Structures are given as C-alpha cells and as structure tokens.
Amino acid sequence: MTDKSKIIVDLMIETRWLVPVDPSNQVLENHAVVVHQGVIVDVLSIEAAKEKYAGNKSVVLNEHLLIPGLINLHTHVGMTLMRGLADDIPLMPWLQNHIWPAEQQIVSEKFVRDSALFGCAEMLAGGVTCFNDMYFYPQATAEAVLQAGMRAQLGLVVLEFPTNYANNADDYIEKGLLIRDAWRGNPFLSASLAPHAPYTVSDITFEKVITYAEQLGLGIHTHLHETKTELAESIKNFGVRPIRRMANLGLLGPNLSAAHCVQINDEDLDLLTAYRANVVHCPSSNSKLASGIAPVNQMLNTGINVGLGTDGAASNNRQDMFAEMRLAALLAKARTEDATSIPASQALEMATINGARALGLDHQIGSIEVGKFADLTAVRISDVETLPCFDPLSHLIYACGREHVSHVWVAGDLRFERSNQQVGLYANIEPNELKEIALLWQSKLNQHKA
C-alpha cells in the first residue's frame, strides 16, 4: 500500500503493551491505537497500522503500557484544598467538629473553583480522565473540569440543613437543576442528583430526588453504610438499616451509585444484588477514617458492579487511583485469606469499565474499543523500581504508581505529559498558578483553625 492510499487520521499511538480491558485480562503486545476526531477508529498491530494509516501525529511508546483513562467514581474535588486539615479522627467527629465548621467559614464559589482545578490537576497527573463528584457550587467545578479538559459527572448535592450554597433541601434541588441546564449537551459534563447520605436527608426529600431522577433520566449518587454509627442511628430513628430504608423508598436501582457500603450484612448484600445498585469502593478513605473494610469480593461474586473511588482529598488524602487499585486488591486478599481475590485484571476493571457502567457511560469510555472516545493513559515501565517486568498488567497494579504516568489523552487530545526526569506539563493548567492558589487558601484556612 502506497502512502497516498493510506487513510489519514489525527493520531496514532504505538505502544509496547496495551490492555483494552474488554475483553477481560487481555494484554496485547506491540499494538497501535488509531484515533480520529477524538474517537478510536482501530486497534491493531503496529505493523498493520503503519500499512493502513498515516497519522497527522504519531506517538511511540516503546517502554509503556497503554490503558483506558482511569475513572474516579467518588470524590469531592471542591474540598481538595482541605487536604490534611484534620487527620487521624473518626468520620463523624471529623465532619461535625472540623469539616462542616470550616465549610461554613470558607466555602464559596471561588474556593470550590480553585479547589476543583487543583483536584483536576492531581487526577490528570495520575491517569484519571473522568470522575464522579459530589459537592457545593457544581458550576464552579464544571468550569475547572472544562479548563482541565477532563470528563466529570457532577452530583447536584442535596442536604436538609443550610450551608453557604443553599438554605434547605428544595433550594439545593432547585439550584442544582438550574446549574445542570447550563451545561446540558456538553460532551465532557453530565449530572446526577446527589442526596448526601441517609443521615442528612429526610424521606420526603429522598422521594423528591427519586421523582426528579426518573423524570430527567439522571443517576443518583449518595453515601451509604459507611460506619456502624450510621446504622445505629438509622435503626433508632427509622427502625431499619439504611439500605432497607432506601429500598422501601425506591432509591435502590441500577441508576444508584452508593459510596462506601462498608458495614454490610447478608440482607444488605441481597438487596444491593436484587436491585442491581452500583457500589463505590473507597479503600483508602475507609481505612484512614477507620470505617472498616467493605466485603468487595462478596459483592463482585454476586454480580454487583463495583467501581473505585478515592473520596475527597480531605479524607484520603490523595486522589490517587493507582493507590486505590493496589489497596483494593490487597485488602480483598487479606479479608478473605484468599490470594486470588481481586486479581490485577479485576482491579483495573473496577477503575475503568465498572466506573463507566455506574455512570451510564460505558458505551463511550472505560475500555479501549473501536467507537469509544480516546480517553487513554500511558504508564512507563522502565524505571528501576518497575523492573524487571514479567507481567505488565500485574505490574500496573502492584509495582507502578501515579508517578509512572507519562501521557493522558481525553478524546484524543493530550492533556498531560511527563517525560523522563521532567515535571509534568498540562495542556491548560499552569503549575505555578496552583501553588499560588494553595498558599492563598492555606493562609485563610489557618486563620479559621486559629
């Protein structure tokens, strides 16, 4: 085939190893991903790709593993600048005595915009191309997402009590839906309704959330069964455990993403399975706040779709999906005393295609397949701490970290690049600006703590 007869495309990425995720547990060697107008148009051997296509731009990754962009299924990026504000404290005292008072003093649209940009930069540098968020001022987070060039599903948070953002549950819902209308149709942004948790939302409000979700075709994102205290309070106030209460109200279903689900018994597991709800496993946050270890292996074995999330930087304190993949696999093995629990391939699926399914975006992202957006992450496996490499997929989970991410594309556009021995470069974010933002808000938060 002559050059003139080759098909001209925007981008060709040649890589040493490629993990498409679907089909499962497959590693392709010396393959190329062909991208045109933001979409994957072919996946084939490098030799065949060079015969068939001519790329306007070509990237050669001789020492790399190419994976789908990671999906962080539960976070609060508007809290990124509260990283380390209050550590080594259980969940409820952490919320009641530190986080909620700080939010009352400092949270504003400007604070959330700056925090979200900081969080987007952190996640991009760690190979994350899409995240599922829940926080105040979602319009500010949307601005940061679009500047970073990422994808996000933004939760329209709902609470009963007043904050700087809204006065009551109806006010939260009304503001959220108005904001959502402003970005409808944007391919990088989608929305969900995000009632905070069963202990902060009434039955009446949950029923309103369900109605709006059904009418508008929106998902629902909430915290659920995170601590023993939450369960005790639910039984005291409602006579049932939170998952049973959610089932009775009609909240459980395939459009629900339930973060944490740590304190789970057999009845809870049966309900989650029967209603096909999605679970978001947040192993680092649950460990740090001493909430417990979710029975993820049991969930996966019953067919529950389980994705991975970091939670917010205020409680993790890293928005690092490499850390979550590794810890999820290790905790499952320790909990079950079974070394085969959550193998490397399944840990990667939890951080990619499972997250896409929970967001209703698995037809667009989550795997390297023809017809999907070219949301891609390259991981360099050539540093001393990653050699020798016998199994690149296993290495990805157990040896590599976010510092080994070299390239991140979203819809075929390069959004982050880190060359050997170089500081990472973003397409649309200036690192010095981030440092200035951090110093500004740290000073204000220190004044609050004083």
Q: Would the pLDDT of 423 be above 90? A: no
Any residues with CB less than 8 A from the CB of 383 and at least 6 apart, and which? Answer: 404
**pTM (whole model) above 0.75:** yes
Checking 93-97 for CB contacts under 8 A at 24+ apart, the result is 94/289, 94/315
Q: How many CB atoms are closer than 10 A to CB 298? A: 17
Q: Would the pLDDT of 100 be above 90? A: no
Q: Measured between alpha carbons, how far is 402 from 127 in angstroms, rounded to an integer?
A: 7
For 154-163, 225-234, 326-335, 440-449, which range has the lowest pLDDT when averaged over its residues?
440-449
Q: Of how many residues is the chain composed? A: 450
By DSSP bridging, strand 405-410 and strand 413-417 are: antiparallel
Residue with tokens 């709006």: 212
Residue 319 confidence (pLDDT): 98
Any residues with CB less than 8 A from the CB of 249 and at least 6 apart, and which? Answer: 203, 206, 207, 210
Residue with tokens 């556009």: 413
Single-letter code of the amino acid located at 441 = W
Task: Give residue 73's pLDDT band: very low, low, confident or very high (50, 70, 90).
Answer: very high
CATH fourth-level superfamily of 70-358: Metal-dependent hydrolases (3.20.20.140)
% of the chain beyond a pLDDT of 90 = 88
Beta bridge mates, 280: 259, 307
Tens-digit pLDDT profile for residues 282-306: 999 999 999 999 999 999 999 999 9
Q: Would the pLDDT of 450 be above 70? A: no
Domain ranges of the chain: 3-68+369-418, 70-358
What sections of 191-305 are H helices per DSSP? 203-216, 228-238, 242-249, 266-275, 283-288, 296-301
Q: Measured between alpha carbons, how far is 370 from 177 in angstroms, rounded to an integer?
A: 34
Asked if 225 and 246 touch (Cβ cutoff 8 Å), the reply is no
Largest pairwise CA distance in the chain: 76
Tens-digit pLDDT profile for residues 360-398: 999 999 999 999 999 999 999 999 999 999 999 999 999
Residue 444 confidence (pLDDT): 84
Q: Would the pLDDT of 247 be above 60? A: yes
| Coil vs helix vs strand at 378 | strand
Determine the number of helices (DSSP H) and then strands (DSSP E) in the chain: 17, 16
Q: Measured between alpha carbons, how far is 326 from 355 in angstroms, rounded to an integer?
A: 16
Q: Would the pLDDT of 310 be above 90? A: yes
Tokens (6 digits) for 365:
């992202």
In angstroms, the Cα distances linking 270 to 243, 267, 334, 351 are: 10, 5, 23, 24
CATH hierarchy code of domain 3-68+369-418: 2.30.40.10
Tokens (6 digits) for 360:
């209703």
Asked if 280 and 258 touch (Cβ cutoff 8 Å), the reply is yes
Q: Would the pLDDT of 130 be above 80? A: yes
Report DSSP letters for 114-164, one per residue. Answer: HHHHHHHHHHHHTTEEEEEEEES-HHHHHHHHHHHT-EEEEEEEE-SS--S
How high is the mean pLDDT of the chain? Answer: 95
In angstroms, the Cα distances linking 294 to 36, 253, 343 are: 41, 20, 17
Q: Would the pLDDT of 420 be above 80? A: no
Task: Give residue 428's pLDDT band: very low, low, confident or very high (50, 70, 90).
Answer: very high
Asked if 325 and 347 touch (Cβ cutoff 8 Å), the reply is yes
Q: Measured between alpha carbons, how far is 337 from 334 in angstroms, rounded to an integer?
A: 5
Residue 190 confidence (pLDDT): 97
Tens-digit pLDDT profile for residues 336-368: 999 999 999 999 999 999 999 999 999 999 999
For 16-25, 59-68, 84-93, which range has the lowest pLDDT when averaged over its residues?
84-93
The CB-side HSE value for 75 (13 A sphere, CA atoms) comes to: 35
Backbone angles phi, psi at 140, to 5 degrees: -70, -40
Q: What is the mean pLDDT of residues 61-71?
A: 98
Q: Measured between alpha carbons, how far is 71 from 152 in angstroms, rounded to an integer?
A: 9
% of the chain beyond a pLDDT of 70 = 98
